[in-house]
Amino acid sequence: MVDRSSRAAFITMNVLVWFVMTAILVVVPDLLDRWMPLEIARVVGWGVAGSVWVVSVEHQWRLRFGPLPRFFLQLILWVGAALVAIAISEQARVSPP
C-alpha cells in the first residue's frame, strides 16, 4: 500500500511540475521578448524551468530510475513541455485577420 501511494504521489508531483514548467516556458520568453530575441528568451525560460524540475522532482527520479531510462523519459517530458509551450505561445501571438 505504501508503494502504491508513493507511486501516486510521484506521478502527481511530476504532473504538477510539468504544468509549472510549461507555464514557465510560455510566460518567461513572452516577458523577456521586449529586451532580447525570442530564441534567447526561450533559453532563459529553459534555465528557469529546468531549475524548477531539479529542485522539485529530480531527486525522486534518481531514486527510481537509472541514468539512461531517466534521460530518455525526461527528454520526452521536457520536449513535450517545450512543444506545448511553443504552441500556446504561437497561438497567443497570432493576430486576428
What is the arithmetic mean of pLDDT over 9-24?
Answer: 93
* pTM as predicted: 0.81
pLDDT of residue 96: 52
> What are 46-89's pLDDT values in tens digits?
899 989 999 999 999 999 999 999 999 999 999 999 999 988 88
What residue numbers bound the domain in which 37 lies? 2-90
**Is the Cα torsion angle 14, 19, 20, 26 positive or negative in sign?**
positive
Dihedral pair phi/psi, residue 66, rounded to 5° = -75, 175
* Residues 45, 25 contacting (CB under 8 angstroms): yes
Total number of domains in the chain: 1
Whether 96 is covered by a domain: the verdict is: no
- If we measure between CA atoms, which residue out of 86, 74, 77 comes closest to residue 28? 86
Which grid coordinates belong to 81?
A: 513541455
Whether 97 is covered by a domain: the verdict is: no
Whether 95 is covered by a domain: the verdict is: no
pLDDT of residue 93: 66
